[in-house]
Structure 1
Amino acid sequence: MIVREATKEDLKILLEFEQGMVAAERPFDSTLIEGEIHYYDLDYLIDSPNATVMVAEEDHQVVASGYALIKKAAKQYYNFEEYAYLGFMFVRPEYRGRGINQLILDQLLEWTKSKGISEVRLDVYDQNESAVKAYEKAGFEPLFLTMRLKV
């Protein structure tokens, strides 16, 4: 298993992963529209000096992905000016449970540190218990819970 930065040649599989994420998240979010959804501007993330997209590859097949994007802190009173936002954490179902997400996460955190960033954040559906547990195992802790009401 190797972890490397994604290239434009990976876009086809990354777009498939994105739709896999959408399908996995639909049960957690009734507000998602029907049909194909695109969460990410993958071209931008691959090209930007403020972002990296990592993929895990086994036997020349991309099996997992994730990205880190440097963002400005939204509030002036935080003790950091920038943070790395992680997203697009996806592992093909048949490769799950093998620690591949952690390999991607490790590379994203190394990239983040190399950019001088010490704060890392991500979003996860609170009902996605396996993802929450995986992130907690990696050292993340809950910070906010967004609540909604349809009126």
Structure 2
Amino acid sequence: MDINNKDIITRPATNTDLPELNEFLQSLVEAERPFDPTLKDGKIFYYDIQDLILDEGTEILVIEVDNEIVGSGYAQIRSGKPFERYELFGYLGFMYVKPEFRGRGLNNLLLNDLKKWILSKGITEVRLQVYSENDAAVRAYEKAGFEKILTTMRCEIN
């Protein structure tokens, strides 16, 4: 399917979007399961999407193509640690685009619009988390200007 820019709308999420957004969240969880052995079985809700929609320190955007919601992402204003250079930073999460719409620049469009929202709050530091073994996502974020700064490690002990 060819996508014309006039057919693409990025807008703030509303409560009427909750059914699709909850589906996106479960699709995101399933995509992340192979990278994270600590995730529980069954449905997982990393966060309450409705609470995020209502939170003034968070902006959830959806992307529509021909009136169909095909992607989502959020930006949230978070406090840095006392020893960090930035008192506040923008945190990106819930980055999802339906598989049939990937590779068309929609994730980059969401990233750019979320960065604009963060900038509108007077904040210039932006962070996100991505599984280090998720090569496609790591490459996409590096292409968008992000760089790795920390790796989380784990082990099970008996």
Which structure 1 residue ranges, 4+ long, deviate > 3 Å from structure 2? Answer: none
Supply the distance in 2 between the matched residues of 1:45 and 1:52 (Cα, whole angstroms).
7
1:3 and 2:37 are equivalent in the alignment: no
The gaps in structure 1 that reach 5 residues or longer are none
C-alpha separation in 1, matches of 2:122 and 2:56:
13
Q: CA deviation at 1:44?
A: 1.5
How many aligned positions are there?
150
Out of 89, 99, 106, the residue aligned to residue 83 of structure 1 is 89
Kindly provide the amino acid, as one letter, of the partner of residue 140 in structure 1: F
Residue 67 of structure 2 corresponds to residue 60 of structure 1: yes
Partner of 2:151: 145
Give the CA deviation at 1:78. Answer: 1.2
Residue in structure 1 matching 2:50, options 40, 43, 46: 43
Aligned AA for 2:93? G
Q: How far does residue 118 in structure 1 lie from its aligned partner after superposition?
A: 1.0
Q: Does 1:135 align with 2:141?
A: yes
Does residue 98 of structure 1 match 2:104? yes
Match of 2:119 in 1: 113
The alpha-carbon deviation at position 40 of structure 1 amounts to 1.6
TM-fit CA distance, 1:43? 1.1
Q: Which residue in 2 is equivalent to 1:33?
A: 40
Describe the superposition over 1:65-118 as per-residue Cα deviations: whole angstroms up to 9, x where unpaired: 000111111x21211111111000000000000010001000100000000111
The one of 10, 14, 21 equivalent to 1:14 is: 21
Name the % identity: 52
CA distance in 2, matches of 1:148, 1:70: 28
Structure 2: where are the runs of 5+ without partners?
A: 1-7
